[in-house]
Amino acid sequence: MSGGRRASAAGVALMLGGAGILLGVAAVPAQAAEVSYKTECIPPAASGLGPVEGTTKVEITAPATAKVGDEIQVVWKFVQAASKNPDLIVLPKDSVKPTGTLKASGAQTADIAMEGPQKNPEIPKGGDMVLSDMTGKVKLTTAGDVTLTPDAYTITAYSTDTKCTPQEAVPAAATIKVTAAEGGSTTSGGSTSGGTTTSGGTATGGDTGGTTSGGSTTSGGTTSSGSTSGGNDGQTDFAGKTVTTSFACASPGPAKIDSSATINAKKNGGSYDLTVKTAKGVMNSPAPLPAGALKPSMVITVGGDDSGSLKVEGPANKDALNTGDPVSLGDMTGTYKPGADGKATLSPGDLTIVVTLSAGSNPITIPCKATKTAVSLELDVQKQAGGVSGATTSGSGSSSGSSSGSSSSSSSSGGGLAATGANDHGGLRALGFVAGTAILLGGAVFTFLPRRRVR
């Protein structure tokens, strides 16, 4: 009996082996090869630092053989990234995401988009960068030898990108022997599918938080048109309508912010006290931030029979924020003094966010230009002495009480990028940290969630 069982088991194993052969790619033995190459990494522009150099070591895993028509998966494993974490901060768990390009050549030419999850252990100060494995797919279209060679890659942390490119000819890491499909003909030309390279930007936040897009913003006002009359009926409170806004921010801010805003007014003599609300429930904080770290301000554009602009300011965040905490900008307030008689319109304008990382540190100003806005409130007004007519307010300055500084000059000494592993560790930096912690918060903090009711 035992001999019969052994024979049966052997037969089953043979059948399973044959089935595996029929399954094609899934059963083809994988090959893995390691290559290393000199790499130049370009830090984010806000760091003010020049290119840095290091050595990248990667291992590429791919099937040894395949057939035309097969879609194969390729794995890129970082044995050594071309950078180290600087002696500035500890990178939290799951805060770093790699993307890159793997080049196919030979019988078929293609750029294979590679992407890894935002998954990493906590990386100590001065520690080696630990990057997740990247994967990508390509459909094989031509019989022959297809070689796979690592190319450029990007390290995204705190929604900022450090872009790394080879500085020498990179040897092929793997070769796939592609045979023609049975009874079929080969087709020329290649195509890639699978992961797509993402940049900081909007990060995807990556796994730190996503921004939902599309849909319509629910109105938080009480008027359908956003216009109210402040004539002789004794009305003192005027509610504006919620309007959709978009902003283009200078580095180190996010490339784009999609939000909404509502301008409400309360008559105070001949002037109006304004309160501006923006969308609540902003993206989760990608890093710990102290109380008082974020302070918003906005320019309100005056139109209609009056003209000019004025500034409203909001309070800094009252409580400290931990990684993953939701972030909202406080309501911004200011005073509108009419400079003409008639109907005046009020619209959200440029947004400014001032980041102060610690007491006594230089504030970092992130100016965001309004690229999409609309009239939120219309008022019947009477001209007041010293009114805004013709006067304009710049939206790129810092909030009152804080030091001003443009985004290009806000990176203070002592900050910088993660040191690369090859040369002078003190001078080589590669990950976009300024003033000892992350200021390049990007969309992970400053991208508002659309379709949220403003309260």
Q: Map tokens 């003909």 to a residue.
A: 185
For residues 346 and 206, what is the distance between their CA atoms, to the nearest angstrom?
36
What was the pLDDT predicted at 156? 85
Contacts of 315 (CB under 8 A, 6+ apart): 295, 330
Q: Assess contact for 154 and 80: CB atoms under 8 A.
A: no
Full 3-state SS string of 316-367: CCCCCECCCCECCCCCEEEEECCCCCEEEEEEEEEEEEEECCCCCCCCEEEE
What was the pLDDT predicted at 385? 92
For residues 75 and 83, what is the distance between their CA atoms, to the nearest angstrom?
21
Kind and range of the H or E run holding 148: strand 144-157
Grouping H, G, I as helix, E, B as strand and the rest as coil, residue 7 is: helix
Contacts of 50 (CB under 8 A, 6+ apart): none
Question: In this structure, what token pair is assigned to residue 380?
Answer: 């019947």
Size of the chain in residues: 455
What was the pLDDT predicted at 76? 96
CA 103-106-107 angle, 5° bins: 115
Measured in whole angstroms, the distance separating CA 321 from the mean position of its chain's CA atoms is 19
pLDDT in tens, 3-56: 444 444 434 333 333 333 333 333 355 678 899 999 998 876 655 667 878 999
Q: Assess contact for 308 and 392: CB atoms under 8 A.
A: yes
What was the pLDDT predicted at 183? 61
For residues 307 and 200, what is the distance between their CA atoms, to the nearest angstrom?
38
For residues 191 and 205, what is the distance between their CA atoms, to the nearest angstrom?
28
Dihedral, CA atoms, 46, 50, 54, 56, nearest 10 degrees? 50
Q: Is 400 left (phi over 0), alpha (psi -120 to 50) or beta?
A: beta
Kind and range of the H or E run holding 297: strand 294-304
End-to-end CA distance of the chain: 78
For 46, which DSSP code?
G
What was the pLDDT predicted at 388? 87
pLDDT in tens, 145-197: 999 999 999 988 777 788 899 999 999 999 999 999 876 444 444 444 344 33
Contacts of 215 (CB under 8 A, 6+ apart): 450, 451
List the pLDDT tens digit at each of the 455 positions of the chain. 444 444 444 343 333 333 333 333 333 556 788 999 999 988 766 556 678 789 999 999 999 999 999 999 999 999 999 877 766 667 788 888 999 999 999 999 999 999 999 999 998 887 888 999 999 999 999 999 999 999 999 988 777 788 899 999 999 999 999 999 876 444 444 444 344 333 333 333 333 333 333 333 333 333 333 444 444 467 899 999 999 888 888 876 667 778 889 999 999 999 999 999 988 755 556 567 788 888 999 999 999 999 999 999 999 989 888 876 777 888 999 999 999 999 999 999 999 988 887 777 788 888 999 999 999 999 999 999 999 876 666 444 333 333 333 333 333 333 333 333 333 333 333 333 333 334 333 333 333 333 343 34
What was the pLDDT predicted at 20? 36
Instruction: Tell me the sheet residues that pair with 434.
Output: 437
Grouping H, G, I as helix, E, B as strand and the rest as coil, residue 315 is: coil
